[in-house]
Structure 1
Amino acid sequence: MSDTTTRALSLLNLLQTHRHWPGTELAVRLGVTERTVRRDVERLRDLGYRIESSPGAAGGYRLEAGSAVPPLLLTDEEAVAMAIGLRVAASQRLVSGPETTITALAKLEQVLPAPLRRRVNALAETVQPSGINAGAPVDSEILGELALACRDHERVRFVYTAASGEVTRRRVEPHALAPADRHWYLLCWDLEKDDWRTFRVDRLADVEHTRVLFEPKPLTAEEIEEFVFVARSWVRTAVEADAVMELPLEVMRENFGQWAQGATAEDATHTRWPVGGSDFRETMYGLSWIPAGVEYATDLASPAREELRETLERMLRALDAPPPPHSAV
């Protein structure tokens, strides 16, 4: 393989791994001049790759979708990951159905070397997605667009329909996509709310790429997992109430972390926090997490209010009573 061909393939690999590359950075990574980069870009265009170029200090190159699918360059690890992902997708409720993913999987596995095919078979047996196939169908195109935005740290806009039916237009910095409890979730920084938010992907529509890049905020894998756990727990419950606590919103967020989702400032010194559960016991457990010494009021309605009061009164009597004697053995 000639140096020119090798260099062009290296350039293609770079263009496939990021949405936008400045010409100067491509030249440095390839060890050539910017003029050579321009020539190699033209070679790739002749092969059917649509590469958009923009002039100026902030200009560069961007691999665009074309009218036909050109060849892709994949590393061994990427090919294995893609084959496993297609196997999982074939059994999930993606809008395009399992047929598309099965045919794509057949084409990919047909060209995989035997050692890689064995790796795919071994790993696929251990990949057991938990219950996603029982959830709401997800548009695979939207899922792909969001995945690209997460990878490239690109701001996006989309229309979101909440569980209540309220429709809003959101502008966010996508951070991660995660499947959990039969659904896909997008974790992102909401630019209007100036806070982390988690959205159900099946309720998303009209995803729009802004081409505005951002520096991602630090977030650990454990924090991502907790955000998603809170999001899938955030559903309408049989017993619902608001707790208005004597705590400023920012201080409340510091104490509650991801569980502060849904909290709003009542005024400069008070925060309203929704809390609930399947019965009054779960609501009581939620209220117990309000920090010690912080006074609060709640609008817990009847009959849960009376049930909670009776339970607490019995607990207080039990605490005030002398401990029962141990029976002799």
Structure 2
Amino acid sequence: WRGSELAERLEVTERSIRRDITRLRSLGYPVDSVTGMHGGYSLAAGGRLPPLLLDDDDAVSIAVALHDIARRSTDAVAQSALGALTKLGQVMPASLRERVSALSDVVVGVGAAPDPFAEGSTEVDVVMALGLACSRNERTRFDYRSAEGVDSTRHVEPFRLVSVGRRWYLVAFDIDRVDWRTFRLDRISRVRTTGARFVRTDPPDAAEFVAMGIAVSSYELRAIVRFAAPAEVVARHVPPTIGVIRRDAEHRRSTIVEMGGDPDWIARYLAGSSLEYEVIEPEAVRDELRRLGEALVARNAVRADAAARGPSA
């Protein structure tokens, strides 16, 4: 852009343009300039990241993402994420920093393994509103659409936000239904806090409550599997939509996983695992594994016989 074009477009003088260019360079923005008839100014890629202009939603989204990365990642990546989160907090306005801090206190995560099933799109405003309500122990109303498409208004005592992959859940006590429930945030709209505070009693383990609802409770058949590996290793192989991971009280180096689904599906999933395992119950899953194993052996035996005979004349 020529200086005269920028001045005309921004409705300022060319002197103001030159002064602003100098200011941008002092802030770290690499602004190149070329003299002559075809010269002008251009923004070049720099050797370091220049200051970024973020609105409140941008800052909150980045803070939430960094918090989640720090929780899920290896030590080196986690430390980098925490360092970036600290720097971001130092330059946030006090009111925004308070909101992000409150959110960090009430967010928990489930699962370390890649989870292709846990996708979703959640509005930042919904995350922030419910996070603050959890932090303040404030009764809240919102509109909710069920998996069947039924709309309702819920009145809850919010407890925790749980992230599963790219999907978010609210764990809350449903006042009208007198029971603990989970709600997907991408199905929530029109969040309204009531101003009424409450005293929380006997809350569940939020992460396990959500994991059980996703992977186990909605299925008629439940399977219990012992993996011959520590929980942190199993967590890298079994996503939260597949099973709930618990430490094995009887075997220190083993891990118990509770899964839900039909025997055929569970058997096929286990057959693809690279970890050693033992199906504790039910017998139906063990039977299906035997059937699957016999079918694989028979199939490969036929191929081996055909290869041994060679091409037919």
Point out which structure has higher relative CO (alpha carbons under 8 A, 6+ apart).
2
Instruction: Please classify the TM superposition score into its range, dividing by the shorter chain length.
Output: 0.3 to 0.5
Q: Provide the TM-score with structure 2 as the length reference.
A: 0.38
Q: Provide the TM-score with structure 1 as the length reference.
A: 0.36
